[in-house]
Structure 1
């Protein structure tokens, strides 16, 4: 819950997120839009969809789900990818956070990612029941 002493968030995020008692932190490495078979999705929206699928798969393997996310850090290779990424994020967040209780987030535009075809990368922190 964001305090009334700061401006409301500018998008689908919370200014802060709390780790509930009885939970442990799980750190998810930056995910790219790479499918399990190693293929890279084309474009920011498709890469974003694959990234959110990867995050969900990692959390499921840990016995958790997207509702346990407390922090996301998104890196875009260009502002040109913002609309596509936001579309993919809106789709995932509508499913994951129907009540609008979003995780804390940071989004930055960087000079480049690990390879020229990568448009977006997302790392995460989750608070998973112990």
Structure 2
């Protein structure tokens, strides 16, 4: 499997340093679609702060990926659902840290979550 980044510079706004416009995945054998994952611990309790929830989310995503013999390096697309636009910077920093600086197509949407304690929800697509 090979990843090819597509970041055209003519006729389109530039991508920022933390994402790419498109990522081509050549010859994947498997795709994994991960449902929106919340910052909940093993008992289903939400982390008390935004940072705690982001840590739990990425831990949960790593656990889900591992169950499919994948890792964060297999993530090819990510969507974040933020309860408040003020969470964008912390969410972006957590994403960059979790991905080790690897850039992928990503979108952040401000939305009301189903439970008020859920501050962020992240869904990913991974390929292997």
Q: TM-score, normalised by structure 1?
A: 0.83
Does residue 1:56 correspond to 2:57, yes or no? no
Tell me the matched-pair count. 122
Q: CA RMSD in A?
A: 1.6
Runs of 4+ residues deviating >6 angstroms: none
Q: CA deviation at 1:42?
A: 1.6
Contact 2:73/2:99 (8 A) holds in 1 = no
> In the TM superposition, what whole-angstrom CA distance separates every residue of 1:63-102 from its partner, at most 9, and x where no partner exists?
11111111101010111222332332232133xx4xx3x2
> Higher relative contact order by CA 8 Å / sep ≥ 6: 1 or 2?
1
**Secondary structure of the equivalent of 2:44?**
coil
Which residue of structure 1 aligns with residue 49 of structure 2? 43
Which residue of structure 1 aligns with residue 110 of structure 2? 109
Q: CA deviation at 1:11?
A: 4.3
Decide which structure has greater strand share. Answer: 2
Which residue of structure 2 aligns with residue 91 of structure 1? 97
Which residue of structure 2 aligns with residue 126 of structure 1? 126
**Secondary structure of the equivalent of 1:47?**
helix
> Unpaired runs of 5+ in structure 1?
none
Q: TM-score, normalised by structure 2?
A: 0.84
